[in-house]
A and B are shown apart, each in its own frame.
Chain A
Amino acid sequence: MTSPSRLPFYIAVLLLISAGISLAVWRHIELGIPWLTGEQRPVWMIEARVDFDGAGEPVVASLNIPEQPPGFRILTEQAASPGYGFSIIDKSGSRRAEWTKRDVSGPQTLYFKAQFIPDPGAQPAQPSQQPKTQKLFWEEPQATAVREILSQAEARSSTPESMTRELIRLMQPDTRVQNTTLLVSEENYLPLLVNMLNHSGIPARTADGLKLEDARRRQQLIPFLQIYNGERWLTLNPKTAAQGVPEDILLWRQGSESLLDVVGGGNSEISFSMLRQTIPALQLAAMQSDGKGLGFLSFYELPIEEQSMFRMLLLLPLGALVVAFMRIVIGIRTSGTFMPVLIAVAFVQTTLVPGLIAFLSVVSIGLAMRGYLSSLNLLLVSRISALIILVIFITAGLSVFGYQMGFNTGMTVTFFPMVIIAWTIERMSILWEEEGGQEVLVQGSGSLFVAICAYLLMSAPLAGHLTFNFPELHFAILGLILLMGQYTGYKLTELKRFTPMKAYD
C-alpha cells in the first residue's frame, strides 16, 4: 500500500493559514481595525454655531457643510436646534445643512457638530464634468492692467499651476509694479485673483479652511484658492502660492459660493469651536464598518446579545488548539478529550480561583456520592441521570450556602456545564475503581492543567480581541490544528517514558 502524497495537504494548509492571516491584514488596513486592544485614535469634534435675529417671519437657514475635505473623513454629523426642522441637502456639488421654522423672532442659535478623523488618503471626489470659467467684463484702465499682468505671468509659465504661482508672485506687495498697484487692494485681493484666473481660462474658486487647534473657540476661517488643473481641484495658499492643504487645516467650504444663507433673519453670524478627542480605534472601525466592502465580514452588525455569544464561541477554537497541542505534542493525559475546554470556558466566566474552588468542591462531593450510587447496582443510564440531578443539588447547595456566608463566588458554580461535570465524576469514579487513585490524580490534574492553560489563553484580552475582530484568524488556527494532526514526532512525555531504552543504544 502506497501512501498518497502529502504535498496537496500541506499546500492546502499553507493556503488556509496564509488566507486567514492576509485577510486579517487586509481588514486591518482597509477598516482600520487595530491589532491591539486599547489603541486610541484622534478625532476632531468641530462645532459650527449660527446666530441670527428672527424678525417674526418663516426662516430658512442654510449652512454649507464639508463634503469629503481633503485629508479627513467625516465620522458623525449632528445638529442641535430645538424647534427647527433639519435636513442635510446635497445639491449641485455642495452639501448644505438646512434649518427651517415657521415663526421666528428674537435671537436664535443653531448648532451643527461633526467629527472628523484625520486620514491622509482621503481625497475629494473628482468633478463629473469640466468646471467652466466665467469671463468678466473689465473696464479700462483695469482691463489693460489685467491683460498686462496675465501676459507677463503667462510668459513665465507652462501649466495652470505655474501660471497661478506666477500670478500670485506678481501680485505680492514686494513685486508689485504699477499695473498691479492699480488693481489690488487689501479687500479685493482674493476675488480679483479668482477673476483674473478665470479670465485667463483657468477655472478657479475660493475655499475656507479651519486651522485645527485643541479647545479653540471662535476660530476664524482661513481663505484658500482652488484652481482646476484639468484633472482635479488643487488647493493653494493665496499669499504664498504654497500648494496643498496643510495637515492641520480642514477645508470646511469648497466649491460652494456662500457659507451661510439666512432667509427671514438678520445679523447672521457663524463661529466655529473645536475639540480634539480620542476614541478607541476599535470603536472607530466598528462605526465605519457599515457600508464598506469588507464590513460584512465582521460581527459588529449583529445585535449585542448575539455579539457577546459569538465573543465566547470564537474563543473555543483557541481552547481546542491548546488541547490538541497538549495532547499531541506534549502528551498530557486528560479525562475526556474536550472536557478541559468546557471547564476553561466556565473559568472564563467565573475567573480562575473561584472557578477552581467551585469545580473541585463539586467534583469531590460528587465522587463521594457516586461511591454510594455504585453500591446500589444501578443501570448506567439511570446512574448518570441520578448523578446529573445530584450535581444540580450540589451546585444549588453551594450557591445558597456561599450566598448565606456572604461569598458571591458561590454563585459562579452555575456556570459549569452540569452534564459534563456528571460525566467527569462518572469517569473519574470508574477510573478510581479500575486503575486506582493515582491514575485519577494524573488524569484529573492533567485535565485541570490543560483547562488552566486554555483559560489563561482564552482570558487574555488580546486573544478575545483578535478572535472576535479578526474571525478570519480562525482559518489559521484550523490550519495549525490540521498540521498537528499530521505530527508524527515523539511527544514530550514519550521522551521520558522511553528513557530506559538508553540501555539498548
Chain B
Amino acid sequence: MDWISPRTLKRLGMLNMNQRNVNYIARYNERSSYPLVDNKLKTKLVVAEYGVKTPKLLQVVKQQHEISHFREMAEGLAGFAIKPAKGSGGKGITVITGRDGDFFVKASGARVGAPVLERHLTNILAGLYSLAGTPDVAIVENLVESDPSLAKYSHQGVPDIRIVVFQGYPVMAMLRLATTASDGKANLHQGAVGVGLDIGSGKSLNAVQFNRPITLHPDTGLALENIDINDWEEMLEMASRCYEATGLGYMGVDLVVDANEGPLLLELNARPGLAIQMANGRGLLPRLHAVESLKRPHFTPRERANYAMETFASL
C-alpha cells in the first residue's frame, strides 16, 4: 500500500474533509442559505436577479397530475434535460438529445419512450433523488449545447467547469469531462476526468481520473495539456457574483459554456468536493488563508476575480 504522510499533505496545503466541514462549511455557510443551492429552481431564480445566466427553464412539474402535460410540452422540443430540483451529485438527471419517431434519444444513445420519462418524473416528485428523501419538484430545462472547443474533449455529456468560491473570491477551478466510466456524468468519483485550470489564465494544468494523474482523455484520446478556456475572466466574475446572490461563503459553482449563449450557471454546491485539489496538483489551504487574512476585502465581483487571477496563480 502506498501512503502519503500527513506532514507532506500539510506542506502541500491540502484541505481535508473534516477541516472543510468544520472550518469552512460550518463557519462560512449559513444554514438558512442552503435551500437556495440545494434547490435548483430557487438557485435559478435568485441568481437571475444578479445577472447570472442559467439554461432556459421550460417546465416545472410540481404535482403528479401535471405529468400529463409533459408530453404536450415535449412534443416540439429536440433536446432537453429533466432534473430533480433537490438532486445532488447529478443524481436523477436525464438528458434527452433528440427524437427518433415516438422515442426520445438519451445522451447515451439509448432510445426511451414517453412512459419511461413520465415514470422518471414520478420518481423525482416522490423524492427518490432529493437529499433527504423529501418530496421534490422536477424541472425541465433547455438542452445545453456545449461549445465545440470544449465538447470535443468530453465523451458524451457536457463538460462543465467547477469553480470553488470562497468569500466571493474564485480560489480554484477545474474542468470536468465525462467518460464512459462516468456514464456521461461529470462527477469525479464516478470516473469523470478532472482537469485543473490555472486560475490566472484558464489554461489546463494537469488531469486526473479516479484520483490518478493522466495525460490523455481515456475515451477521446485527446491530449489534455493545452486546453484554454475562452472568456475566463468573465466566468470567474460570474462565479464570484453567486456569492452576493446566495451569501454562501464556501461553495462550488458549476458553469457550462453554451455554444450560443456563452457561460451559463448549471448549479451551485454548498459542499464542494476535495478532488479539485488533486486535479490542480495544489492544496486549497494557502489560497483560503490568503483570503481569510485580507484586511480590506474587495467589494465588486470584478475586483475579486482580478485579485484572484493575480494572486492565486502562484499559490
Residues of A within 8 A of B (CB): 1, 3, 328, 331, 377, 379-381, 430, 434-435, 485-491, 494-505
Contact = CB atoms under 8 A, between A and B. Distances in A.
B226 interface: no
Contacts of B91: 434
Given A1-B27, A381-B126, A434-B91, 6 more contacts: A488-B19, A489-B16, A498-B278, A500-B211, A500-B212, A500-B278
B1 interface: yes
A377 B123 CA distance: 8
A490 B123 CA distance: 38
Contact of B3 (A3, A377, A496, A504): A496
Contact of A377 (B2, B122, B208, B277): B122
A495 B190 contact: no
A501 B128 contact: no
Interface stretch (B4-12, B45-53, B152-160, B302-310): B4-12
A328 B22 CA distance: 12
Given A488-B19, A488-B22, A496-B1, A502 B8 contact: yes
Contacts of A504: 12, 281-282
Given A488-B19, A491-B17, A500-B208, A380 B6 contact: no
Contacts of A495: 3-6, 9
Interface string B14-41: 1011110011000110000000000000
A435 B90 CA distance: 11
A500 B214 CA distance: 11
Q: Most chain-A Cβ atoms within 10 A of its Cβ — which of B4, B22, B126? A: B4
Contacts of A488: 16, 18-19, 22-23
Contacts of B3: 495-496, 499
Nearest to A329: B18
A430 B129 CA distance: 9
Contacts of A490: 6, 9, 14, 16, 18
Contacts of A498: 4, 9, 14, 277-278
The 9 closest A-B pairs by CB, nearest first: A380-B126, A488-B19, A504-B281, A377-B119, A490-B16, A379-B126, A499-B4, A488-B18, A490-B6
Contacts of A496: 1-4
A491 B18 contact: yes
A501 B27 contact: no
22 contacts: A1-B249, A3-B27, A328-B18, A380-B133, A430-B128, A434-B91, A435-B190, A487-B18, A489-B6, A490-B14, A491-B16, A495-B3, A495-B4, A496-B3, A497-B211, A498-B278, A499-B2, A499-B4, A499-B211, A500-B212, A501-B12, A501-B283
B127 interface: yes
B213 interface: yes
Contacts of A497: 211
A503 B28 contact: no
Interface in B267-291: 277-278, 281-283
A489 B213 CA distance: 25
Contacts of A491: 16-18
Contacts of B23: 3, 488
Contacts of A499: 2-4, 211
Contact of A501 (B123, B127, B190, B281): B281
Contact of A494 (B1, B16, B122): B16
B17 A494 contact: yes
B307 to A, nearest CB: 18
Nearest to B123: A380
Nearest to A4: B27
A380 B8 CA distance: 47
Nearest to B210: A500
Contact of B213 (A3, A487, A494, A503): A503
A140 B212 CA distance: 116
A1 B5 contact: no
Contacts of B28: 1
B122 A501 contact: no
A435 B3 CA distance: 26
Contacts of A328: 18
Contacts of A377: 119, 122
Contacts of B211: 497, 499-500
Contacts of B5: 495
B295 to A, nearest CB: 13
A486 B23 CA distance: 9
A430 B12 CA distance: 37
Q: Most chain-A Cβ atoms within 10 A of its Cβ — which of B16, B19, B127, B133? A: B16
